[in-house]
Amino acid sequence: MRYSLLSVMGQALRGQRDWKPQWRDATPKAEYDAVIVGGGGHGLATAYYLAKEHGITNVAVLEKSHVGSGNVGRNTTIVRSNYGLAGNIPFYERSMKLWEGLEQDINYNAMVSQRGVLNLYHSDAQRDAYARRGNAMRMAGIDAELLDREGVRGMVPFIDFDNARFPVKGGLLQRRGGTVRHDAVAWGYARAASDRGVDIVQNCAVTGIRRENGRVVGVETSRGFIRAKKVALSVAGSTSLLASMADLRLPIESHVLQAFVSEGVKPLIDTVMTFGAGHFYVSQSDKGGLVFGGDIDGYNSYAQRGNLATIEDVMEGGMALWPGLGRLRLLRHWGGIMDMSMDGSPIIDRTPIDGLYLNAGWCYGGFKATPAAGFCFAHLIARDTSHEDAAAYRLDRFATGHLIDEKGMGAQPNLH
């Protein structure tokens, strides 16, 4: 499907009735070279890069519901590469570079908006920590600027700089960070993968992983058995459930994260801003709603809805930083299920079972990783070796002690 000004105008006159589906809603074949479980952003990106980078097109993406119904349609759309640890820096920067070229690559308007990500600091110690992180980024060739108070005031003059407990002292700014239209990422990758021959199979829940002689041979699904040489799991909050079908226990807990949108208002904030003294971040969507969120609820959950205590905590963080928010009404809020890992970092690796691959443990940072996760997971599936940018995301790092604990919280998933 191609779009032009003429086609948009023509459809407007015909009541938008004649648009064609953007990808094939495929019926599963009996056998594939690779089956990707999970039709979210990561799974679709993996299928796209398998086809584009490795020429593997006999691939199915199995989605239990419809494309975009999981976390790719539930996140707060922020992209950034402002990490501080060696294992993370090259991976997230690859993701950022892929975001920058994504729309040209897949010929789809994903509304990539590099409006900047501004992390505020509120104490001398926090400034030192941010300076260190910014330096780590700059040494890797990533843009980072340490702003003083006046620099922040020039960007977001409306926040409470002189809060008695948490005065704003400055911020760490990554100008190349920003937001991307999350649904369009799923749709764009789905169309691009489908165009290259990938089967996108919706309403197809995986119910079992069949093995013979210690090797994966396919998946049992709600639409019958599908034979596959390789099975790749990319199912976010459902990772432990799928892994248990292959008798694997993982260093992962599933937790609910809530997100919020206010009523639409005129342009208020033209960047992504995070509060450094609590967990609160905010940006403004093109429709005008403020999109914001904070901590996960903190208890194991598969419910896709959270509780009031966390909502209050997020609102308190928002009000402490930006008292004017109190004049806005909340339009809606929702929850998604996060695969919280034991060190706060992801896993892109083979499993002890031949032919079974794992992309998981994204905690609440999976969206920004979508292109690179797909890129590196496809590399792993195609070549059976880790991509160099994801080489640290090993499943056995918990046994060997090579943890990547960006926050320094230890093996407590609800604190990452």
We find the least distance from the C-beta atom of residue 196 to other proteins, in angstroms, to be: 34
Q: Give the integer Cα–Cα distance in Å for 316 and 160.
A: 13
Long-range contacts of 205-211 (CB under 8 A, 24+ apart): 205/62, 205/64, 206/37, 206/62, 206/64, 206/242, 206/245, 207/245, 208/245, 209/242, 209/245, 209/246, 209/356, 211/246, 211/353
Identify which range of 59-67, 166-174, 235-243, 358-366 contacts other proteins by CB under 8 A: 235-243
Count, residues near other proteins per rule CB under 8 A: 28
Candidate residues 5, 309, 326, 329; the one interacting with other proteins per rule CB under 8 A: 309
Q: Is 240 in the site for other proteins (CB under 8 A)?
A: yes
Q: Report CA-CA distances (Å) from 126 to 144, 283, 368.
A: 16, 22, 24
Q: Rule CB under 8 A: choose which of 300, 330, 334, 391 binds other proteins.
A: 300
Q: What are phi and psi of 410, to 5 degrees?
A: 80, -175
User: What does the alpha-carbon distance between residue 407 and residue 416 come to, in Å, rounded to a whole number?
Assistant: 6
Q: Least CB distance from residue 357 to other proteins, whole Å?
A: 19
Shortest spacing between CB 98 and other proteins, in angstroms: 30
Q: How far is the CB of 20 from other proteins (least distance, A)?
A: 38
Q: Closest Cα partner for 348 from 322, 326, 370?
A: 370
Q: Does 298 bind other proteins (CB under 8 A)?
A: yes
Q: Does 308 participate in binding other proteins (rule CB under 8 A)?
A: yes
Q: What contacts 161, CB < 8 A, 6 or more positions away? A: 149, 152, 153, 167, 168
Assign residue 169 a region (left: φ > 0; alpha: ψ between -120 and 50; beta: otherwise): alpha
148 is a site residue for other proteins (CB under 8 A): no
Using the contact rule CB under 8 A, the part of the chain among 153-161, 215-223, 240-248, 378-386 near other proteins is: 240-248
Binding to other proteins (CB under 8 A) within 252-271 occurs at: 252-254
Cβ(311)–Cβ(333) below 8 Å? yes
Among 5, 6, 164, 399, binds other proteins (CB under 8 A): 399
Report the Cα 242 to chain-centroid distance in Å.
Answer: 19
Q: Is 334 in the site for other proteins (CB under 8 A)?
A: no
> What is the nearest approach in angstroms of other proteins to the Cβ of residue 318?
17
Q: Which is nearer to other proteins, 170 or 251 (CB)?
A: 251
Please give the structure tokens belonging to residue 225.
Answer: 């058995």
Is residue 414 part of the contact set for other proteins (CB under 8 A)? yes
**Residue selected from 3, 19, 158, 299 as contacting other proteins according to rule CB under 8 A:** 299
Q: Which position among 96, 198, 342, 404 is part of the footprint of other proteins (CB under 8 A)?
A: 342
Q: Smallest distance, Å, CB 258 to other proteins?
A: 13
Region of 26-34, 90-98, 242-250, 363-371 interacting with other proteins (CB under 8 A):
242-250
- CB-nearer residue toward other proteins: 58 or 300: 300
Closest distance of CB 377 from other proteins, Å: 21
Sign of the dihedral through C-alpha 118, 112, 65, 380: negative
Q: Which is nearer to other proteins, 3 or 299 (CB)?
A: 299
The DSSP code sequence of 331-346 is EEEEEEEEEEESSS--
Asked whether position 411 contacts other proteins by CB under 8 A, the answer is: yes
Q: Does the footprint of other proteins cover residue 295 (CB under 8 A)?
A: no
The correct pick among 69, 145, 307, 391 for binding other proteins (CB under 8 A) is: 307
- What is the phi/psi pair of residue 224, to 5°? 100, 175
Q: Is 347 in the site for other proteins (CB under 8 A)?
A: no
What would you measure as the largest C-alpha separation in the chain, in angstroms? 66
Stretch that binds other proteins, among 153-161, 194-202, 249-257, 385-393 (CB under 8 A): 249-257
Which pair of structure tokens corresponds to residue 289?
A: 């709603």
Q: Find where tokens 């799974």 sit.
A: 43
Q: How far apart are CA 258 and CA 311, in angstroms?
A: 8
- By CB under 8 A, residue 404 contacts other proteins: no
Chain contacts with other proteins (rule: CB under 8 A):
238, 240-241, 244, 249-254, 298-303, 307-309, 312-313, 342, 398-399, 411-414
